[in-house]
Structure 1
């Protein structure tokens, strides 16, 4: 049953309109009557009509003024205006204020009925549309993680233009910084082993792993965690944790404990434009890591977790992973293409480069943080890797910042 409010300063007109509406045999009831515009506004709040039938000329608040106040209240209530003014200016004002129908007196019953039927059909369609959109909204909430994963994978494959990326990110309520950190987490063999045993499906495995990663990432400045079609999980962060290697080692250990298998983690800085190419490079890096013998993987993990130890050497690594130092030296050279010493040096210098961004740290403090007790050795190693001394490197960084590059 549709509720209508009739507003007219003439009691006879109100009664006449009420009688005509009753004779139409439509599912309509007059919920309230008003003698002027002010009273109509009050009764709208009280009775919440579905639509309004009103005269444009009323005391205290004219029909036009009433419509203006109605829009201020943000009441999306259809209005059928009845007017004795056959002037275009009145109709123009009323239409501008969003009236549904503008009828001139005297009104034929057929004309009024047609207007009422039209308005009620519009209300019906609008409510049906609102109900549908609410269902869509609920479905979106339930499937938001899936939609985000689809969005990320299309982005990673370079299928989104800048405009599409911005629109979809806004639609999914995601805000990405201009420069971000992409972390890929891949777990080798655990899924295959579990599938062989018949204990888990691929979908359950992926959901479980993503949930574990989300929980582990809660304390950090994370933009989002995605299920990647290539790696098990991709993480986008605003910035790297202060001690990334400790963070990475902890993430590896906890992930391996919870899902089994070997966990491989890589991280790179990227932007919207560079993420597709960088993610491909990172996938190749992960693949290369996975192809390494388990003993080399263990050595890498130990080095990443302990590179800050200034006394770290090959014998310590060999002892930690339970093998002969000459054997691990030879195998690392074969698998990685560089010696243990060069691998450790590159790792330390790459971390030093990242720490250079912290203006509060002196060159000597950075050297100590990455495992050098002697600044002279640190400077020599840095220059060998970067082609310039640490102080020159920092000076260049400051110059770039000042130039806004």
Structure 2
């Protein structure tokens, strides 16, 4: 049985993550819960675990300083980061510190299982293969500007996203980034954001019990009526109709590239 240290300031989130972990059926047990990074570090002075799972935003010591401290003390400690949609900057930095993976809230069983199975598989590989996997992770961080912006949009869809903000993330002129979107994705920046939001809305409607207004808020729409109208325009049915019978709705926007 593998051991796991769970770090999150909200008790209900820790409870939810433990339930998701149990549903994966994997041989991993939470042996310690901590409300922030400093509490976790104090516990680790006298204990060790196979894996650490930590939130990003916490009081006293946030996730990123915690990851930094771990890297200084235990260079190879496997760490999984759990984050919200608006934590992309923190997640990028955490990835550079060599965290194993990151999971988006609310964490689903399939995502948790994929992440942990990958980790268990890595532990069982020969050293050469592990080094190869690490190299692949480093290469994944060296993404093209469009790939970085697509990731930024996916992680920040709940908030306001502008072309200027996205361009600043990848150090490009907004006009040039707009041209890249049209050349590489065959659609403009705003249309792509709508497509990402609609795909996530359909996922939430079909896989969660969130209310329509909660789904709208998760994908960046404060006005539920506007969200419903946009959803119907893109998918040929309202969010409520889609939830009842997705098969009756027409195919939505083109597959995201």
Q: TM-score, normalised by structure 2?
A: 0.47
Bigger relative contact order, structure 1 or 2 (CA pairs below 8 A, ≥6 apart):
2
Q: TM-score, normalised by structure 1?
A: 0.30
Larger Rg: 1
